[in-house]
Each structure stands twice: as structure tokens, then as C-alpha cells.
Amino acid sequence: MLKRLLQVFAAPAEQKNSTSTERIPLAAAVLLLEVAHSDGEFHQDEQVLLGTLLKEHFSVSAEALNDLLSLAEETRQSSHDLHQFTREINKAFTQPEKERIIEAVWQLVYADGRLDHYEEALMRQLGSLIGLSHRQLIQAKLKVAKS
């Protein structure tokens, strides 16, 4: 599974359309992990929610979850910034897919019932980097807050 995820994420441009549904979970996992670590704490409930979000929103099977999270953590740790990663998201993902990712990230942000200033800053940065307007970012935030 790990090998398949690496192949999917590193697919040549002409193959990206056929694999974009497989790449969405990896992109989401990296962003979720980055946000989960942004306040300096990664709690067990955040880890559980992260798995739940990936399963519910991105159709990740229970069997694939650990491999996906391992790859996402490697990707997150080896990256010096999110620009390289978000550039790939912008090339491959549609606007609705980007909004789904941001909604899932907002759910993780609010997992502990509060919005840390580091989390808020990262969310603004992520929204901008993946091409969401401030309005779209706030709409996603409000949608998550209502549920």
C-alpha cells in the first residue's frame, strides 16, 4: 500500500487525472497532520479524529490508514514548507476537492474545542496557498462550526 501511495503521489502530469481520487487522501493527511502539530501538541483524540476524517471524507480504508499516515508524516517532516506540496494540490485538485480538504482540516482544528492562534495562522496560510478566497475559508469554518 505504501508503495502504491508513493506511485500515486509521484505520478506524471498526464496520469494525475486518473489518480486524483487516490491523491486526495494523501494531501488531506499531510495538511491534517501539519495542523494537528501546529499548536505544539498532538493529542490522542486528534489522532483518532484524523483517522475518522480520512475514513469518512476521503474513503480511506481501515487497512490503508496506517500506511497513509506514515507516508503523510514522512512527507510532512521532509518538507521545509507547504508551498511545494500545495502547488501540487493546485495542479491536480478541483475547487470542491480543495474545499473538502479545508473543511476536514477545520474539523481537526476544533477537535479540542478552541482555536489556537498558530492553528488560525496556518489555516489562513493554507487557504491562500491552495487558492481559496477568504470568504471560502470562512464559509468552510462556519460550516464545520455549525455541525
Query: What's 25's domain CATH number?
Result: 1.10.3680.10
pLDDT 10s digits, 41-57: 888 888 899 999 999 88
Given a cut of 90, is residue 141 above it in pLDDT?
Answer: yes
What's the chain look like in SS3?
A: CHHHHHHHHCCCHHHHHHHHHHHHHHHHHHHHHHHHHHCCCCCHHHHHHHHHHHHHHHCCCHHHHHHHHHHHHHHHHHCCCCHHHHHHHHHHCCHHHHHHHHHHHHHHHHHHCCCCHHHHHHHHHHHHHCCCCHHHHHHHHHHHHHC
Q: Residue 112 has what pLDDT? A: 80
User: At 2, is the pLDDT very low, low, confident or very high (cuts 50, 70, 90)?
Assistant: very low
Q: Residue 22 has what pLDDT? A: 65
Q: Residue 20 has what pLDDT? A: 53
Compute the mean pLDDT over every residue in the chain, rounded to the nearest whole number.
82
User: Domain total for the chain?
Assistant: 1
Q: Residue 21 has what pLDDT? A: 59
Residue range of the domain that includes 130: 2-146
Given a cut of 80, is residue 16 above it in pLDDT?
Answer: no
